[in-house]
Amino acid sequence: MVLKTFGWSFAVTALGLVAAVIYDGWTAFGIVAILCVLEISLSFDNAVVNAGILKKMNAFWQRIFLTIGILIAVFGMRLVFPVVIVAVSASLGPIEAVELAFNDKEKYEQLVTDAHASIAAFGGMFLLMIFLDFIFEDRDIKWLGWLERPLAKLGKVDMLSVCISLIVLLISAVFLAPEAHTHAGAQDKTETVLLSGVAGLITYLIVGGLSGYFENKLEESEEREHEAEEAARKSGKRVTALQVGGKAAFFMFLYLEVLDASFSFDGVIGAFAITNDIVLMAIGLGVGAMYVRSLTVYLVRQGTLDDYVYLEHGAHYAIGALATLLLVTIRFEVNELITGFIGVALIGWSFWSSLQRNKRLAAEDEKARPHSEAGV
């Protein structure tokens, strides 16, 4: 089952790591490995959401998502999108950006360094909004309760995430941008940071708005499904799990693609905190995207969702750490390995906490079972 589901991902991983070594040696191998782990970690909860929605779609739309969807996810967002980011931020044509990445690495690095302040501000604001919206939401399951409970209460204040993000952007522009580093030395990038940060904030709000629109369409289809089930019960017919097709499935497909785009976007932006090399970025994120799709298929075929409930928390705390580090890199240099390992450490911690929680619940059930049996 595992080999059948993840076989293509294993093959792509091997090819990607070999390509990284051929491209730039063992350092490139390490960077690609970190990017793979980062992408999988940040997109794990996306795979869980995908599985929960995908199992409701009929076989035709499941195939559409797992074929056309993977082309959009891997080639569109993970391979093309990083080129677009560099091309826009460095005022280059896409073809010129690719040619520089392969043929004139020194000049390419200079252009990326000059554009780093705008990339960091744009990405930092986008990632910060994802993190803030998560921690300010009141969730039934809390990982770090001492922190998440008071933050959930604060989250009842309207537009708090936007206000905090704008304050962080203003502080970054005032204290970090005036000495932003380029290949020509330190320059004042205050205006650039402000404009790019606002653009990142607007992009997040647009993506969130589209996701909300498609989510509403999804909820409408679910309501119709429940009405059909209720009608079947009243008529005495057998109630079966409905799989959505037609227009409702189309809206589900669009919703899944918007969700995937938003998660892949934070992966791409976060990757700039690991490396500026567009080739390594494309390889690492592409391999990671394959695992996200394989995990989605695995969860659907198993018929159950993963019970490591704190992994979603760990992924979002990793996003918050990346957002902070991106903004810091406007002025200061941060080692790429440190940035990557912070995310991996947070995911590992959340995974370990999930295991401990599962063991504790199992022990409590074991203790309660003799009492219930004695009562019988």
Q: Which residues pair with 180 in a beta bridge?
A: 187
| Burial class of residue 344 in the structure, from the number of CB atoms within 10 Å of its CB (0-12 exposed, 13-18 middle, 19+ buried) | middle
**pLDDT 10s digits, 210-260:** 767 776 776 777 677 677 767 767 776 654 544 545 566 677 677 677 666
**pLDDT 10s digits, 145-163:** 888 899 888 888 888 999 9
Structural domain of 75? 2-375
**Angle at CA 76, nearest 5°, toward 272 and 204?**
60
Token output for 336: 């790429």
Q: What is the pLDDT of residue 374?
A: 52
**How many domains is the chain built from?**
1
Token output for 60: 């035709």
Token output for 373: 């049996």
| Burial class of residue 171 in the structure, from the number of CB atoms within 10 Å of its CB (0-12 exposed, 13-18 middle, 19+ buried) | exposed
Q: What is the pLDDT of residue 307?
A: 67
Per-residue pLDDT 10s for the chain (376 aa) are 667 777 778 888 889 889 899 988 888 888 888 888 777 766 665 676 677 667 767 777 777 877 787 777 767 777 777 677 667 767 778 788 778 777 776 777 677 777 778 888 888 898 899 889 889 988 888 888 888 899 888 888 888 999 999 999 999 999 888 777 666 667 778 888 999 999 989 988 887 777 677 767 767 776 776 777 677 677 766 545 445 455 666 776 776 776 666 566 666 766 776 777 777 888 888 888 788 778 777 767 765 445 677 877 887 888 888 889 888 888 887 766 677 678 778 878 888 998 898 888 888 887 877 655 555 5
Q: CB under 8 Å, gap of 24 or more: what pairs does 350-353 form?
A: 350/143, 350/308, 350/310, 350/311, 350/313, 350/314, 350/315, 350/317, 351/308, 351/310, 351/311, 351/314, 353/143, 353/310
